[in-house]
Structure 1
Amino acid sequence: MPLINPPESTPTLRVSHLHSRAHGFRIFIQPDGNKVKVDAVDGTSVMKAAIASGVRGIIGECGGDLSCASCHVFVVKEWFDLLGPIGAFEDEMLDATSEDRTDCSRLSCQIVVTPSLEGLTLTVPASQR
């Protein structure tokens, strides 16, 4: 049986916008101060949710394989300790970011969406490698 292409008017939903599977939201503060609110599915990475939602400045060249550091974010201090420790490889990769790392730097591919992170607020650096 041949495959039938859906009509062009069929809406395409991105996983990050399926509210029945999404849990809460994450806020990305752009370098210009604008805030972008992103719904995210539990168990996915914050990087993937950001890319699926078109957040400017989150590139994720490696697709989340922890080999490019182009998903660097600055976690708002109140949230940082809730993320758990930084792994050795992530720590090493944070030394290769375009913008200098801070005490609140993380790679968003290593932050997994959970219900306890609803409202997580991150600042996107002005540049990525």
Structure 2
Amino acid sequence: MMGGARVRQEEPSVQKEANSWVFARSFRSEEEAVRLANDTPYGLANAVYSVDAARLARVASQLKSGIVWENCSQVLFPSTPFGGKKGKASGFGFEQGLAGLKEFLAEKTVVGTSRPSYNWQIYKKA
């Protein structure tokens, strides 16, 4: 968030998803950074930068977004899904990868048999 410590969490520029805004915001602890990042109705993407690999993994696992970039940003591969987190307001699902394909499917399981021995009924035919 460009603007640093003076940018308040409740400001519309922080709470609304805009494809042109990027914010850098100061924080006092790792926990506060995660809380601030998750305190939005959107959950499309986050980018985390650190020289500490353990911190990157720890923070990435706590962020509620569809993709987290570690020490990079905007890197996308056709085989990996890209989209917002369920329950958040970012888009309508995933694109790319298997998750993107599943957006177009209605999965259903149908089980049947022609062998009576597989029947779970406790009554026998008379």
TM-score by length of 2: 0.27
User: Which structure: greater helix fraction?
Assistant: 2
Higher radius of gyration, 1 or 2: 2
User: Which structure: greater strand fraction?
Assistant: 1
TM-score by length of 1: 0.27
